[in-house]
Structure 1
């Protein structure tokens, strides 16, 4: 007689009773195999629903419960049963962190690493997430998973498969064009790639001694970043955000890393793609999201600049990330270019980490030279960074300078060193000209203010109003006679 399982929305004692019964049945089935495949899968699907809310589902989160689910997940001959159990495990490890150490202690990360070699994207998604979760708060032996259970091989293989899906060269692909189209449109493909990128980041972050094992991943990640569609309207939504993050823990300075980041043909393409993502991100994300979602992108660009060829990629980064002649038609930071958007973030007090990162990036783009930094971004933006980082301020930085180089007619034009704007583009104040009487009153006011400052000892410069009068630039009656000064007191 077929067993009947009640689906759906129990809570409290009724839910606890149902979960207890289901787990008992699944445990007994491991030794008796009395359940029909449909019954077994139905029971696992019901457990999957119940564990989304850990309340009144305690039997699942015990050592016995996790072991039962793990055996169905990794020892079953049925792919459907295995995936249903994997879903239950993934939910359990997510909502109840204590189960992660139980899972690791039972030795199942080793079986999970081996199962990750599966070419099925749903298996990739579920198993990658399970191993990813066990990297937090457990004693999982990552070196052993890499050396003995092929974890690195599985991750590299899965990334290569995703590259194949997005490859624009059908003749070199393992998949036909129709299969590629279906794979790209399948939400599970994107979810699997996202989990693989997250797992790669954690493994290389927590197991630095094996980071060089993952060097081949750099080429796959760079290719995927360049070829994958940019999510709209949030450009760093998965999988692109996790892929950018994954670059940060890899050995980019390796020979393979350099070759991937700066290909011989069109070496600036990967960098330009990242700059495009930054442009879109700065136009979309809130302050809070800049600190989390966009900061890794800036960090990646800084790492790339440090390694980039000077005459190609660095030149492109200068042209796209530093103010241009067009930007200097206004006070710097007032336009809509990516350079203007970056500059505005350098003074954004609501995002201190992000502000610090973009300021350092601009300083590095200026070859870490204070004078070049001031000329590139203007003293108004540069001064705070130079002061906070104890960088000596070069002499004469507050004086206008001539643009030595630049496109769009920028060469040789005088620039206001404070604002970074071309002096010939500065708007004159649209104010009515002062009458002689108004000029005289203003001069008297300034004379008194400087006289008071000199008496305090704070300044020792000559009163400019008195100097102007002595040189014949003001009428003598402006300053003659202490009685007129006293009237202002």
Structure 2
């Protein structure tokens, strides 16, 4: 079936001949201008379709084919031809990783970086993706692109354009920006490129520090993707924030602007609230984990009496949560607390636990009081954090100016605890339970570990089998 219809309508030898003829025609055109503008663009458009499937398309993916496409993309005079060639190149580098080193060896990342400084939105998308792909498995010199070919300037310039689109300072409304899918696609590729460049070229990370303020603005101003708020471009922007020098003076000023120091953390917490309600467990480790990492970084750098207090108030259980056993409600604090034991998302679970511990000033006693010993104990044990003996004792928490006792294990107000509501057992059920208990105690006696009197046998002897024992009024006593 796969061979019946390939991209472009041709398969096998027919497709190979068509690809060969197109590459030869486009190569000759570079020196003789043998094709008119429409013929050239039509040839590139047809070649782009064939390049989506590398089978029977070898002439596109060898050095000569990549060089021909690169020359049309970066050395031609027509913007339309350049864009069509860029589309072909982006496809080639995506589906055939071996072409990335060919592109690098031909010296075209340098030309791509320079072209990115004058790119419109669609070219921003294509060129950013092409450079991004060259950061994997090639010898590309990112420092040279930054120092000599204006890569950092181009990325900052494009981020600035997106900020203007979303804040309306460019004369365009955010509504218009949100209705153009290419705008978000371009922003996503720029954010991904920024992340990779700063990840693989740490020595030049300070060249991108101005991007922090731009990304903060975009995170706060950009509409949240629906239904999953960390889908592109928001998730890509959060990722890009993580590799920048947030601890620098300029970075701190961008994270905590004087006008509203808590704006970014409040926005990220809003995103987290929506994310934990919309992403399935299997996606938390990839989609939502970077958001937790960002919140932890922000908390570490935040002013203690301002932003840190805001984050504690919004992410730790409140007195309202303590009306139930902690983790049983539907507040954000309850939801993330439940995820600390989520075996389906182990990395996310671990990161959330660390965040809650950090929000508790890395103090074991505060941590237990904040989340309950039931949730805290596993984290403290796994991380070799000494547990004070007093943490399992009830403590007092303030609500409305008065002190109320709290169960240290569950985190619930003691005066809100209720006995479990169990249905009354029938006589038949009591007899079955008595038989089960009899067998269990006989097995225990046979081990020789301890000498115990079987309470079921004693109940039968005393004439109240099925009543006191099953009702929980009898006690097992260890005998000498």
State the TM-score, normalized to the length of structure 1: 0.86
Q: Which residue of 1 aligns with 2:406?
A: 415
User: How far, CA to CA, are the matches of 1:246 and 1:280 in structure 2?
Assistant: 20
Flag the 1:411–1:118 CA change in 2: closer, same or farther, 3 A: farther
Flag the 1:104–1:265 CA change in 2: closer, same or farther, 3 A: same
Does structure 1 retain, via aligned residues, the 8 Å contact 2:392–2:408? yes
Q: Which residue of 2 aligns with 1:143?
A: 143
User: How far, CA to CA, are the matches of 1:410 and 1:116 in structure 2?
Assistant: 60
User: How far, CA to CA, are the matches of 1:138 and 1:36 in structure 2?
Assistant: 35
Deviation at 1:53, TM superposition (A): 1.1
Flag the 1:428–1:338 CA change in 2: closer, same or farther, 3 A: same
Deviation string, structure 1 residues 113-152 (Cα, Å, up to 9, x no partner): 0000124101100000000000000000000000000000
Shift >6 Å, 4+ stretches:
451-455
**1:278-357, aligned counterparts within 5 Å?**
278-357=272-351
User: How far, CA to CA, are the matches of 1:156 and 1:331 in structure 2?
Assistant: 48
Q: Which residue of 1 aligns with 2:60?
A: 60
Deviation at 1:182, TM superposition (A): 3.2
Q: Which residue of 2 aligns with 1:28?
A: 28
Q: Which residue of 2 aligns with 1:250?
A: 244
1:176 aligns with 2:171: yes
Instruction: Give the one of 411, 435, 449 matched to 1:456.
Output: 449
Q: Which residue of 1 aligns with 2:165?
A: 165
Gapped regions of structure 1 (runs ≥ 5): 1-6, 466-477, 479-484
User: How far, CA to CA, are the matches of 2:204 and 2:50 in structure 1?
Assistant: 38
Does structure 1 retain, via aligned residues, the 8 Å contact 2:364–2:387? yes
Q: Which residue of 1 aligns with 2:472?
A: none
Does structure 1 retain, via aligned residues, the 8 Å contact 2:100–2:133? yes
Deviation at 1:394, TM superposition (A): 1.1
Paired residues, what number? 441
State the TM-score, normalized to the length of structure 2: 0.87
Deviation string, structure 1 residues 370-426 (Cα, Å, up to 9, x no partner): 1100000000000000010111111122211111x45xx385111111111111111
1:265 aligns with 2:259: yes
User: How far, CA to CA, are the matches of 1:228 and 1:89 in structure 2?
Assistant: 30
Flag the 1:454–1:24 CA change in 2: closer, same or farther, 3 A: closer
Q: Aligned-pair RMSD on alpha carbons?
A: 2.7
User: How far, CA to CA, are the matches of 1:394 and 1:453 in structure 2?
Assistant: 39
User: How far, CA to CA, are the matches of 2:102 and 2:242 in structure 1?
Assistant: 30
Deviation at 1:321, TM superposition (A): 0.4
Deviation at 1:452, TM superposition (A): 6.4
Flag the 1:59–1:270 CA change in 2: closer, same or farther, 3 A: same
Deviation at 1:454, TM superposition (A): 12
User: How far, CA to CA, are the matches of 2:72 and 2:421 in structure 1?
Assistant: 79
User: How far, CA to CA, are the matches of 1:339 and 1:203 in structure 2?
Assistant: 35
SS at match of 1:412: strand
Does structure 2 retain, via aligned residues, the 8 Å contact 1:165–1:184? no
